[in-house]
Amino acid sequence: MNIDFSKYPDGLVPAIVQDAQTKTVLMLGYMNAEAVAKTEATQQVTFYSRSKNRLWTKGEESGNVLELVSLAVDCDMDALLVKATPKGPTCHTGSDTCWNEKNSPSYGFLSGLEDTIADRKNNPTDKSYVASLFAKGINKIAQKVGEEAVETVIEAKDNDKGLFLNESADLLFHLLILLQAKGYALQDVVDVLEGRQ
């Protein structure tokens, strides 16, 4: 890895730390050549502390270390992306990140859809299809998942992409409702799949 430390008068390049699994940005630190070498040797993220004027391994006092997963330099060779696994909160304030954000997995649109389903469950309205399913109970919700699964299988046997994808979307949507009804989330399913890996 060719890092151009000479671009900065103090020889310190910015190092953005990202959770390797959740992709959440955890913090920003600075590294010199010695900090990079120590990070690679120990597999624990080490910075050059401008306030302490020395190398500083994240978590050396708190125990909340950052275990190195990968280290990459940007296209200008003057900034680093550090992917790590945090062992505890990253920020000295006790927050998951230095921006006071929660470091939890996000599945983009699907996570937003889960939030909407939870809202419909907790704040039902007469106009909500999802709320009406929750009102009918677990048997009706499970029945809908079964119906959508059968319809997905039927469409899989044909060559109509639109119908197959629509039925697949219906199946996933109703599965998210069933998970919510049972008190689980998509992350719980992902945890099971990761455990099988």
**Which pLDDT score, from 0 to 100, does residue 83 have?**
98
* Other Cβ atoms closer than 10 A to 160: 10
- Domains assigned to the chain: 5-86 (3.10.20.810), 109-196 (1.10.287.1080)
CA distances from 168 to 109, 132, 148, 174 (A): 16, 21, 8, 10
Give the predicted TM-score (pTM) of the model. 0.73
Give the H or E element holding residue 68.
strand 66-73
**Which pLDDT score, from 0 to 100, does residue 197 have?**
87
Please say whether the beta carbons of 78 and 84 come within 8 A: no
Q: Which residues of the chain have pLDDT under 70?
A: none
**Paired tokens of 78:** 């003057």
Percent of the chain scored above 70 by pLDDT?
A: 100
Residue 27 φ then ψ, to 5°: -170, 170
CA 34, CA 19: separation in Å to the nearest integer?
23
**Which pLDDT score, from 0 to 100, does residue 105 have?**
86
**Which pLDDT score, from 0 to 100, does residue 29 have?**
97
The one-letter amino acid at 92: H
CA 129, CA 126: separation in Å to the nearest integer?
8
Please say whether the beta carbons of 90 and 169 come within 8 A: no
